[in-house]
Structure 1
Amino acid sequence: MRNTILCVFSLLLFASCQIREEIRFNEDGSGSYEVGFDMSEMMKMGEGNDSLPPQAAIDTLIIFATFLEEKKDSIAQLPKAEQEKLEALRPLRFAMKMSEEENQMNIRLSYAFDKLEDISKFAEAVEAADIKELDQGVNPMEGMMPADAGGADSVPKNGMEDLFKMAESFDTEFNKKRFSRKVTEKAMADMLQKKDTTLKADDPFVDMMRFKQVYRFPFKVKNVSNPNAKILSDFKGVELEANMYEMNNDPEYFNIEVEFER
């Protein structure tokens, strides 16, 4: 498995972006997994650039469970294999708002899971859904990148897919006593191999991309192992946030163990 975190770097290096990964847990181990990002700063970069074609405003919410229910009679007429592919989309929700006038671009995809292992199906569901707005959302990047960076052609075609595969870079455990999440050995090796030794903490662009992980629990937090983590105000969650330098310099930056009050 390639290093998905660094692939996200290569996709979003050229514009300020806030990436957010959130997992919500229920007592029985079910919950929801969400990936979202705010590229509003990128929209601002395009202001006054008359060479860019105008982008139509987008305000979309797709709840696949609702869609499948509405189309169930038609779906029942499809071959069984096609029915199974569509049914796999049921836990997925997609929301996107893009407006040049408001300099706003936000995308969120969430996936309900019955057990942690189901999170691995998130990327497959996103790919199978073939959401056209995701492709449209990347289009504003064209013409905004500096010439010496290779322009839009330098954006990797698989960058968006890698964003949705971030969960594969971590081993995650959750029960009534504790929660832990650690970068996998494979992802660790990839990050060390691809580490940018020229990146410095005071480089002006290290804050152009910030990555946040948020975990919400049905239990109150007692102890947190990671000193970078912040306990949420209700004591039922934690969050970690890093810029590009912190992520590049410390592959274990997001490793965390949480002990619950019982």
Structure 2
Amino acid sequence: MNKILLRILVLFVLSLTSCTVKESIVFNEDGSGNFLLTYDMASAMEQMKVAMGGEDSTDSTEEKKSKVIDTMMVFSEIMETFKDSVAALPEDKRLALEAVKDMYMKMKMDEGTGVFDFGIGLNFKSISDLKGIQEKIEKAKSLNAQNDQVSAMKTGSPLGKFMLDEKNDVEYVFTDSSFSRKTSVSDAEEEITFEESDNEFIEYFNSAYYIVEYTFPKKIKSFSVEGAELSGDKKTITYKVRWLDFIKKPKILDFDVKFVNE
């Protein structure tokens, strides 16, 4: 495959699925909290510029540094403000909006500091609100104009095996004494295997990661996975795995947490 085409193709996917994905949950004392899936696209965007021949020379350095975007969109507010336009949308887009009306999207871009984050989140009242959260996230992403191209790559391109399977479901269980994360995979074949023909793609995903970070109202007594890190106050646990390892075995991110009995 042409190297330039390959680079652009991979970076296009990375720009929509990200180099690093961070799944964070912050729990409050009453069991409510915030779920946020953040896509760090700074590295992908920088590589895209290189692949496309560099940055636009007509922009001065000061102009580039001044480009800052920090915004959040709440789907329910958009649906109310633009209800006439929403009613006129194609049925699939309208139903996707209806499914994610309780969620929000946020974006932060600062070219001067090299920050480019895109996030999809939900403020939940109880852990039960997170049931089917992965499906909701995919519906939110389907509102992106480039989603059809991404879907085509999943089924008709060798890049498909490197992309997240939206059919996998994650169950979260939170009690007074413990927390657990459990993934149900969509296929009978749980683990993906890479072939020699995949080597040219693998190099582009070697620096990609999936991070989970959970913050609880109680101190953590123990956890069931090696390599996780605790914060100084022992209330936040962070676990980071290589994207290639995660794609091969989605259950690698599952673990149990026990809390200190206070």
> Are residues 84 and 27 of structure 1, via their aligned partners in 2, closer, same or farther at CA, if it must alter by over 3 Å?
farther
Residues 111 and 51 of structure 1, relative CA distance in 2, 3 Å threshold: same
Are the structure 2 counterparts of residues 115 and 42 from structure 1 closer, same or farther at C-alpha, using a change threshold of 3 Å?
A: same
Residue of structure 2 equivalent to 1:7: none
Q: 1:124 aligns with which of 124, 136, 142?
A: 136
**C-alpha distance in 2 between matches for 1:125 and 1:251:** 17
Instruction: Tell me the number of residue pairs that the alignment of Structure 1 and Structure 2 aligns.
Output: 225
User: Quick one: structure 1 residues 13 and 98, their matched pair in 2 at CA, closer, same or farther if it must change by over 3 Å?
Assistant: closer
Within-5 A mapping of 1:128-167: 131-132=143-144, 135=146, 162=164, 165=166
Residue aligning to 2:259: 260
1:35 aligns to 2:37 (yes or no): yes
Cα separation, 1, equivalents of 2:96 and 2:13: 29
Deviation at 1:214, TM superposition (A): 0.8
Name the SS of the counterpart of 1:111 in structure 2: strand
Q: How far has the Cα of 1:34 moved from its partner?
A: 1.2
Pairwise CA distance, 1:35 = 0.9
Q: Offset at 1:236?
A: 1.1
Q: Give the Cα separation in 1 of the matches to 2:251 and 2:235.
A: 23
Cα pair distance change 1:154/1:115, threshold 3 Å? same
Judging changes above 3 Å, is the alpha-carbon distance between structure 1 residues 238 and 128 closer, same or farther for their aligned structure 2 residues? closer
Question: CA-atom RMSD, angstroms?
Answer: 4.6
Report the Cα distance in structure 2 between the residues aligned to 1:223 and 1:88, rounded to whole angstroms.
Answer: 36
- In the TM superposition, residue 196 of structure 1 has moved relative to its aligned partner by 2.6
Q: Which has the higher contact order (CA 8 A, sep 6+)?
A: 1
**Relative to structure 1, is the Cα distance of residues 115 and 189 closer, same or farther in structure 2, using a 3 angstrom cutoff?**
farther
Q: Is the 8 A contact 2:15 2:44 kept in 1?
A: no
For residue 86 of structure 1, report the CA deviation from its aligned partner.
6.0
Structure 1 residues 190, 217: CA separation in 2 closer, same or farther (over 3 Å shift)?
Answer: farther
Contact 1:22–1:213 (Cα < 8 Å) also in 2 = yes
Residue 169 of structure 1 aligns with an amino acid whose one-letter code is D
TM-score (norm 2): 0.63
Q: Is the 8 A contact 2:22 2:210 kept in 1?
A: yes
SS class of match (2:44): helix
Equivalent-residue separation in structure 1 for 2:22 and 2:210 (angstroms): 6
Whether contact under 8 Å (2:172, 2:180) holds in the other structure is: yes
AA aligned opposite 2:128: E
- 1:1-262, aligned counterparts within 5 Å? 11-12=13-14, 17-47=19-49, 59=69, 60-67=71-78, 71=81, 89-98=100-109, 103-119=114-130, 120-121=132-133, 123-124=135-136, 127=139, 131-132=143-144, 135=146, 162=164, 165=166, 168-184=168-184, 186-187=185-186, 189-192=188-191, 194-196=192-194, 207-247=206-246, 252-262=251-261
Q: Give the % identical residues.
A: 21
Letter in 2 for 1:196: F
Aligned-partner SS, 2:180: strand
- Structure 2 SS opposite 1:253: helix
Query: Conserved in 2, the CA contact under 8 Å of 1:15 and 1:208?
Result: no
Greater displacement, 107-116 / 96-105: 96-105
* Deviation for aligned residue 1:53: 9.6
Paired residues of 1:64 and 1:89 also in contact (CA < 8 A):
yes
Hey, what's the Cα distance between the residues in 1 that align with 2:182 and 2:115?
33
Please list the CA deviations of residues 47-76 of structure 1 after superposition, one character each: whole Å capped at 9, or x if unmatched.
35566897x97833212354456x39x68x
Q: TM-score, normalising length from structure 1? A: 0.63
Checking the alignment, whether the CA contact within 8 Å between 1:36 and 1:109 is kept in structure 2 is yes
- CA offsets per residue over residues 72-106 of structure 1, 9 Å max, x none? 9x68xx7xxxx998665443121123466765431
